[in-house]
Structure 1
Amino acid sequence: MTFKAIIVAGGSGTRSGGRKQWMSLSGKPVLNWSVEAFENAGAAQIIIVVPEDDVAKAQAEFPNAIVTPGGSTRAQSVQAGLKALNAAGDDIIMIHDAARPFLTAPLIDSLLLRMETARAVILALPVTDSLKKTDHDTITDAPTREHLWRAQTPQVFRFGDIVRAYQAWTNGQEPTDDAIVADHAGIRVEVVEGSQRLHKLTYKEDFELLEALIMSETQTQIRVGQGFDAHRWGHGESVWLCGVEIPHDKTLIGHSDADAGLHALTDAILGAVGLGDIGDHFPPTDPQWKGASSDVFLKHAATLVRQKSGRLVNVDVTLICERPKVKPHREAMRARLSEILSLPVECISVKATTTEKMGFTGREEGLAAQAICLIEMPVVRA
């Protein structure tokens, strides 16, 4: 059964400490988990709804999806996603929150199976905790938990049904989810039991919980990679180091932008996962890489790690030169590496040293860089 998907990733993340859709979970951004789940399940179309200033970033990251800006509320973002869809009235639409990253093919299949006979279906879990109603901090009642469920996503509807349901919403309050909008419009919504793994990321502690869950389910091994690169100086007015342009009276000479820091780190990551070196993936004889920005190379290496279900733990780059002075730009470099790798800045180190006027770097003939990284990889059984 074919279906289309809307992934809502428009939150500000005030409770989680940042826009959680871009925060790293086991080595890749939270949003990537849901996109990959729908791609692997064969979604005919994927709409990603993000804040307006994240549209370009998301479109670059997910070129096969349609990215659209959301609204100030979840309901507005869902409706923006529905408008972006190319869908007919009977098309099956799954609406999913990116904050629930552990969506699986079996869960998607169970929803599609129920939609063969239902008009609308949601994932949910039965309430198992005792419920208490309070007046501030005093218990006033203990409602029964019988027939009570905790709603999850995806929530699944026929396209025409959910569009009309939102048009008919006149409650005056913000709907808590799409199911209540459908129910308000007279659409019968059925429940399929979800999964405890489909936990919603709301607070910082939720990230720790899901990271621990991944670790408990996966046997991992530690991989260490190291890289080295050097470029000679030439005439110029600035130099690129670790993704940051620094004013200088020379520039580094190379086929690309000659960012030795990014080149060394790219080689370290490729080496850790056993995928050769930067020249294997981006040959200097290929004219398309002439003058290329080296962040393309580093992003490619990080993507290969994610594709192998690996997790980048930390990176450490050392720049070896007499000039320019690196320390004034070090935090900008760490921030740029954090952005490229989707890795917390505290897991990134950039340092600099000289060779006390010795050797080619001491004579200011060139600059060198070395890098090391730590990666967790799942154990591959022979």
Structure 2
Amino acid sequence: MAKSERTAAVLVAAGRGLRAGAGGPKQYRAIGGQTVIFRAMQPFCTHPRIDAVQPVLNPDDAAMFNAACAGLTHQPPAAGGATRQASVHAGLEALAAQRPDFVLIHDAARAFVSQDVISRAIETAHRTGAAIPTVQVADTIKLVDEAGNIVDTPVRARLRIAQTPQAFRYDVILEAHRRAAREGRDDFTDDAAIAEWAGLTVATFEGDVANMKLTTPEDFVREEARLAAALGDIRTGTGYDVHAFGPGDHVMICGVRVPHSKGFLAHSDGDVGLHALVDAILGALADGDIGSHFPPSDPKWKGASSDRFLKYAIERVAQRGGRIANLEVTLICERPKIGPLRDTMRARIAGISGVDISRIAVKATTSERLGFTGREEGIAATASATIRLPWSL
């Protein structure tokens, strides 16, 4: 594989998901503490061999998308069409300026795609030019007529269930979509069908039974139960940080720039709230502390924004196959006043971490004018983090 070859991904998220029941488009609903679309996009956004991620949305969903996917790096969203096929075409056209060599096309309703499946998609597409993930059929399949009578029993050994991401040479699948649009063909249910119609041979590779599509309310119930059972190793960690005041006109607290008569004396930006949270998460992982991962003796962290530290800690949880259940910060200071900014700080932590704001708490208290915080010499923060990890022996 040539090093210069680029691979992009199209995430199709313009559908309404009516079969999933009430509650709005299914891709923006939470499952296991994270939105479906965040779960679907994150493995592509963090995969080392994906160079660009192109989401395709219903324009009415822009605000929900921005809230759900804050912190993920992606291309500006493209506007979807009336059908999945039209939305994929729009995503492919939006990538034209990127000029990728290969493209992976994935349904946002498949929230549990793994990076291993993505890697297999890339490898197989590079070998064959067109490939899709499949899983074997476990049950006997019957072909019936309009009256419901059986007319055939296909050979089960040759049947496969198609999944996404489906992977192709970019220029070839783009031309197939353009040709289908010119000829008025809008009835293809996946991109492999368009490729077959265009005369391509489409290979298959091993999919993943967990990479199922969320379609009905029952799917959500089943997957919530599966996630709860799988992530049964519940861990809690605590953190503490303190920074003294020095010259300045603002302080950073929980990722928010807060005007103040002083600044922090610190090697980084001195964000006591985020620093305490990072220590809490690392503590829950039994993975050292913030100083061992970001030593203040290292000049590259001089003045660093603390959102980088929190993102790193969150990624350490994800790498272990876990998720965040709850984050809590308590700030101890006389001034500045935290109460008016509490929800702004919660929203900022949510944006950095990808954790739903309903699982984030920011509190504040004073020390009744006692000690260094009471004398307004600095700010202290405590934090706790509850995480869920897969059981391991």
Alignment partners' CA distance in 1, 2:123 and 2:305: 43
Change (3 A) 1:51 1:294: farther
Q: Does 1:100 align with 2:110?
A: yes
Identity of aligned residues (%): 38
Aligned-partner SS, 1:239: strand
Change (3 A) 1:304 1:116: closer
Consecutive unaligned residues in structure 1, runs of 5 or more: 134-139
Partner of 1:176: 189
Alignment check: 8 A CA contact 2:135 2:206 kept = yes
Q: Which residue identity is paired with 2:91?
A: S
Change (3 A) 1:141 1:252: farther
Q: Match for 1:357 among 358, 369, 372?
A: 369
Change (3 A) 1:229 1:80: same
Q: Does 1:209 align with 2:209?
A: no
Q: Does 1:324 align with 2:336?
A: yes
Aligned-partner SS, 1:153: coil
Q: 1:216-295 alignment to 2 at 5 Å?
A: 216=229, 218=230, 220-295=232-307
Alignment partners' CA distance in 2, 1:132 and 1:157: 33
Change (3 A) 1:185 1:259: same
Change (3 A) 1:285 1:234: same
Q: Does 1:311 align with 2:323?
A: yes
Alignment check: 8 A CA contact 1:5 1:96 kept = no
TM-score of the superposed pair, with normalisation by structure 2: 0.74
Change (3 A) 1:141 1:150: farther
Alignment partners' CA distance in 1, 2:47 and 2:298: 34
Q: Match for 2:39 among 8, 17, 30?
A: 30
Aligned-partner SS, 2:165: strand
Aligned-partner SS, 1:168: helix
Change (3 A) 1:280 1:221: same
Displacement of 1:155 = 2.7
Q: Which residue identity is paired with 1:72?
A: G
Partner of 2:92: 78
1:14-62 Cα deviation digits (max 9, x unpaired): 65757948977577941456438965xxx6x55421259889x989856
Change (3 A) 1:149 1:287: closer
Change (3 A) 1:93 1:290: closer
Change (3 A) 1:316 1:300: same
Alignment partners' CA distance in 2, 1:352 and 1:143: 68
Alignment check: 8 A CA contact 2:130 2:168 kept = yes
Q: 1:110-149 alignment to 2 at 5 Å?
A: 121=132, 123=134, 142=148
Alignment partners' CA distance in 1, 2:128 and 2:218: 39
Displacement of 1:350 = 0.5
Alignment check: 8 A CA contact 2:45 2:53 kept = no
Alignment partners' CA distance in 2, 1:193 and 1:276: 37
Alignment partners' CA distance in 2, 1:185 and 1:245: 55
Partner of 1:136: none
Alignment check: 8 A CA contact 1:124 1:191 kept = no
Alignment partners' CA distance in 1, 2:130 and 2:272: 57
Alignment partners' CA distance in 1, 2:248 and 2:121: 61
Alignment check: 8 A CA contact 2:246 2:263 kept = yes
Alignment partners' CA distance in 1, 2:346 and 2:216: 25
CA RMSD of aligned residues (A): 4.3
Q: Which residue identity is paired with 1:167?
A: R
Change (3 A) 1:219 1:327: closer
Partner of 2:354: 342
Alignment check: 8 A CA contact 2:281 2:313 kept = yes
Q: Which residue identity is paired with 1:269?
A: I
Displacement of 1:363 = 1.5
- Which stretch shows the higher mean deviation, 351-360 or 73-82? 73-82
Alignment partners' CA distance in 2, 1:254 and 1:110: 46
How many residue pairs get aligned? The number is 362
Q: Which residue identity is paired with 2:278?
A: T
Consecutive unaligned residues in structure 2, runs of 5 or more: 18-22, 82-86
Change (3 A) 1:323 1:49: same
1:306-333 Cα deviation digits (max 9, x unpaired): 1122221101110011112111100011
Change (3 A) 1:223 1:58: closer
Alignment partners' CA distance in 1, 2:350 and 2:96: 33
- Which stretch shows the higher mean deviation, 346-355 or 251-260? 251-260
Alignment check: 8 A CA contact 1:48 1:81 kept = no
Change (3 A) 1:265 1:4: same
Partner of 2:10: 8
Change (3 A) 1:360 1:174: farther
Alignment check: 8 A CA contact 1:318 1:369 kept = yes
Q: Which residue identity is paired with 1:355?
A: S
- Which stretch shows the higher mean deviation, 326-335 or 220-229? 220-229
Alignment partners' CA distance in 2, 1:297 and 1:69: 27
